[in-house]
Amino acid sequence: MKKYAGQSAMLVAIDCIIFGFDGDELKLLLIQRGLEPEKGKWSLMGGFVKPKEDLEKAAARILKQLTGLEDVYMEQLQAFGDPDRDPVERTLSIAWFALVDIHKYEKQLSDDHHPEWVPVKKLPKLVFDHRKMVDLAKKRLQYKAALHPLLFELLPDRFTIPQLLNLYQALYDKKLDKRNFNRKLLSAKLLIKQKYKKKEGSRRGAFYYKLDKRKYYSNIDAFMSFLPAREIFS
């Protein structure tokens, strides 16, 4: 195997921006960094890409390592390559964002990174350029979710419309009209109505819905505006 002469290599890492929603706030799963430098500081979950490993695989591996979850929605965000972003050694990082059901996570045993779900709106200081990654990920999520059915990935299999409304409101930090939201949502015909929900948070109870997975997967790139889209990006 010949090599390219005179070129210099660098380390390649993955960092994961992991979104979750607890019914009230949009959250990120952060860890306390286990390596020097900045050991113990808040950080995104990350890791190095292995010599024979695909980027997708690496991202999935790292996500699973922290959350125990597989088959999670992930999307490559962007490569971050400032030569000085890691003071130790030049390290390129490919940021991925993931949308997970926060409740599924809670049942998992997490490893020893001391992970915590932190509200996106109250982020602590993060190491390196992780803050930039988070900001970009949030923008990207806002952008994409305004046009595509995506946020279902953050909710359990069964969910109610008020939950979904809360999620949108949390992501965009705006109040939305529930009547209009409802209508748009149902007109997409992606939801299947279930039985009643009793207990939590309401006297009357709200109906559960499930995704019509068939339509969902064939439409995941479909264009539908769940929002007053042109005003949301202001």
Partner DNA sequence: GCAAAAGTGTTCCTGGTACACCCATGT
Partner DNA sequence: ACATGGGTGTACCAGGAACACTTTTGC
Residue 153 neighbours by CB under 8 Å, 6+ apart: 72, 73, 99, 100, 101
Give whichever of 80 and 168 is closer to DNA, judged by the CB atom.
168
Give the one entry of its own copies, DNA, none that residue 7 binds, where binding means its C-beta sits below a cut-off of 5 to 8 angstroms depending on kind.
its own copies
Task: Point out which span in 46-54, 111-119, 133-141, 225-233 binds DNA (CB under 7 A).
Answer: 225-233
Give whichever of 10 and 192 is closer to its own copies, judged by the CB atom.
10
Give the dihedral of Cα atoms 5, 85, 74, 110; nearest 10 deg.
110
Check residue 186 for interaction with its own copies (CB under 8 A): no
Residue numbers 127-166 binding DNA by CB under 7 A: 160-162
Is 117:104 a contact under the CB 8 Å cutoff?
Answer: no
Give the one entry of DNA, its own copies, none that residue 107 binds, where binding means its C-beta sits below a cut-off of 5 to 8 angstroms depending on kind.
none
Q: Distance from CA of residue 41 to its chain's centroid?
A: 21
Give the chain's largest Cα–Cα span: 71
Check residue 106 for interaction with DNA (CB under 7 A): no
Q: Which of 2, 52, 125, 204 forms a contact with DNA (CB under 7 A)?
A: 204
Give whichever of 206 and 224 is closer to its own copies, judged by the CB atom.
224
Query: In sequence order, what are the beta bridge partners of 192?
Result: 210
Check residue 88 for interaction with its own copies (CB under 8 A): yes
Question: How far apart are the C-alpha atoms of 71 and 172, rounded to whole Å?
Answer: 26
Is 153:99 a contact under the CB 8 Å cutoff?
Answer: yes
C-alpha closest to that of 21 among 190, 153, 211, 142: 153
Q: Which residues bind its own copies (CB under 8 A)?
A: 1-4, 7-12, 35-36, 48-55, 76, 78-79, 81-83, 88-92, 94, 221-224, 229-230, 233
Q: Which residues bind DNA (CB under 7 A)?
A: 160-162, 177-180, 182-184, 187, 196, 198, 201-207, 225, 227-231
